[in-house]
Amino acid sequence: MKVLVLYDYPPSPGGLATQGDLLYRGLQQMGLDVHAVHFESAQEKEWYYRWFEPDIVVGIGYWGHAPHLVLHPQRYGVQPVPWLVADGYIANYHEILNALPLILVTSNWVKQTYIRDGINGDNIEVLPVGCDTDSFAPRDRDDPKVTCVRQSLGVAPDQIMILTVGGDATSKGAQEVMQALAINDTKAPDWKYICKVWPQPRTMQQNLVDLQLATQLGISQNVVYTANTISRNFMPYLLAACDIYAAPSRLEGFGMIQVEANACGKPVISIRAMGMLDTMVHGETAFLAAVAQEIKITEAMLGAESGYQEPHRIVFDDFRTADYRASVHDIANYLMDLMADSELRKRMGEAGRKRAVELFDYRIVAKKFVDIVQRRLGIG
């Protein structure tokens, strides 16, 4: 099988780029004839189509990337297999996607979202995102690289470090976590809450709102926002430095960092919805807070990023859930349980590590990809 993988290549630290690169590496290690190219590089993609003549072109992105991931390879007679995430609503490219013999998605929730919005589910298969469980592995708190991370963030050796990582923290549930921490503050062990976000204008504005909330809650002295650019080399040590990874995300199709935290032997607090239902086991590898609220919308404005030349208004027949809010009281209770019990943290972390290695290691995901392609397309 000859495979061309389209993603943000060479890979940036982002989630989609990591998703694509781990598949590429896994297929390489299986001995397949595989190459990688940037999904928007029309000339280089055409070059590969002509001399490499791949059996399939697997492209990583969301439905709005259909021109790059589906239409471009089809133009040259090559079979596309998009591996897609969802962003809440599939608004365009229905005819193109429904004509494909195989679409890969990252979780059962993503699959149901595509079906809800008019995509034929018969040809949709779930393929989880891979995790490099060699890099994302348990590390001793006394490891100098781990110790230096905590020191750089101002976390004392005896403090409980709670961590949230994302492009911004709010979408990962940081406001709900802060409200929960404020409930627990006077009775909880000494703690510090670290939010690692990506430096971009939108995030900087959101950080100000979040920090204002921390001040209003009276916990600002224990909340740290850091917005440095970091590489994937640093992430395993950042996760190893924390005691609890908390991300009750408002919209999460898979939860790559939650899985990476589990792989590092860390217990996770998230939300009982979306991709978390596939990746986490409540009470075993994670505590999943109940959904307290669903934010519903009746219309949306879409533009060029969704394949429309002009701003396009879509009115839904029924209310559509745009995102979720986790129960603050559930988060508070689960945080208190984990903060007060180091053995519970260890036990859940070990269970999370075991599950990550068995189900989400990138080599296992690559093998599953090959099995799906062979079964559904007859390409071997």
> What mean pLDDT is predicted for residues 48-68?
97
How far is residue 351's CA from residue 1's CA, in Å, rounded to a whole number? 35
What are the structural domains, with CATH classification, of the chain? 2-130+361-377 (3.40.50.2000), 144-360 (3.40.50.2000)
pLDDT confidence band for 135 (50 / 70 / 90): very high
How far is residue 210's CA from residue 175's CA, in Å, rounded to a whole number? 7
Give the mean pLDDT of the chain. 95
> What mean pLDDT is predicted for residues 23-47?
98
289 pLDDT above the threshold of 90: yes
By the 10 Å C-beta count (0-12 exposed, 13-18 middle, 19+ buried), 283 is classed as exposed
pLDDT at 90: 84
Q: pLDDT tens digits, residue range 297-310? A: 888 777 777 777 77
pLDDT at 264: 98
Q: pLDDT tens digits, residue range 202-244? A: 888 888 999 999 999 999 999 999 998 899 999 999 999 999 9
Q: Which residue has the tokens 């490891």?
A: 143
pLDDT confidence band for 380 (50 / 70 / 90): confident
pLDDT at 298: 83
The DSSP code sequence of 144-184 is HHHHHHHHHTT--TTSEEEEEEESSSGGGTHHHHHHHHHHH
pLDDT confidence band for 91 (50 / 70 / 90): confident
How many other C-beta atoms can be found within 10 angstroms of the C-beta atom of residue 47?
Answer: 12
Lowest mean pLDDT among 99-108, 135-144, 291-300: 291-300
pLDDT confidence band for 279 (50 / 70 / 90): very high
Rg from Cα positions in the chain: 21
Q: pLDDT tens digits, residue range 259-275? A: 999 999 999 999 999 99
pLDDT at 317: 78
Q: pLDDT tens digits, residue range 311-363? A: 878 887 788 788 999 999 999 999 999 999 999 999 999 999 999 999 999 99
> What mean pLDDT is predicted for residues 40-61?
98
- Crossing angle (nearest 10°) for helices 328-340 and 174-184: 60
82 pLDDT above the threshold of 80: yes
pLDDT at 367: 98
How far is residue 356's CA from residue 314's CA, in Å, rounded to a whole number? 39
